[in-house]
Amino acid sequence: MRYKLLALDLDGTALGSDPDAFAPGLAEAAAAAAERGCIVAAATGRPAGCLPAALDPVPAWMQWLVLDDGAEVIDPRTGARLWRRAFGADSLARVEQAARRGGFPVEYIDGDSWYHVAPAGRRMLESSPDVTPFHKGVLARRGRPLEGPAAGLACRDILKINALLVPGPARDAFFAEVEGAALAMDCGGGAIELTAPGAGKLAAVAFLAGRLGLTLQDVMAIGDSGNDAALLAAAGLGVAMGNAPAHVQQAARAVTGRNTEGGAAQAIRRWLLEG
């Protein structure tokens, strides 16, 4: 088998129209790849406390979890953490200041999967038609009020930040203001996801590959969003979903079908099982 590690995004890729269920054929194709010796890892923006029902329990064929956009790598069998990259207080303060100037809400996600949001920002998210029902449900279950400065959250290991409802004219300024303090990724729909410097799916998967005695050239990655683009460009084979925006498809070497059409399973069969 040419590619020895499969890094598989979840939302918009491995998952279908139901955010809790695998897309058609995905589980069967991934299990077949694992049976032939390919190591399968989920590489997702979700934190550990918000994984889909399809990963409860984690299937036997999924051997690693790359979480929080690459801020954490976990062995799901033992719970052992191999990698964690959290924001420092100065970085949190810079992101908070930039978001305040832009006038949009920010979620700070800690190492225990709690979403810290200022009360005014939470009201904006809950009332916005641009925030999905799924995300509102996560906020209802995992949301906690942020009453003081974001820098005070550094002791809680903030692994990921979601800047949401970012207006188009404010995006470039926000990216410029947080440069060096965070890795910022445009995920479309007014959403910018941020990890600490040195994190990200590319860095985490490269770390995992090295731990397994592999390189990025041994990796096949499948994804659909801005948080996948760097990994898709650097992997031995990066495959963008048919539902991915143009800039993500351009970063990849190949494009498969949409997630609702079983595109991830199609890619696994074509380039892993039959390739």
Q: Is residue 1 over pLDDT 90?
A: no
Residue 275 above 90 pLDDT?
A: no
Question: What fold characterizes domain 5-84+199-273?
Answer: Rossmann fold (3.40.50)
CATH 3.40.50.1000 residue ranges for the chain? 5-84+199-273
Report pLDDT digits (tens) over 20-36: 999 999 999 999 999 99
Domain 89-195 has CATH 3.30.1240.10: yes
pTM: 0.97
Cα(117)–Cα(114) distance, integer angstroms: 10
**Which residues of the chain form CATH 3.30.1240.10?**
89-195
pLDDT digits (tens, 9 = 90+) for 47-59: 999 999 999 999 9
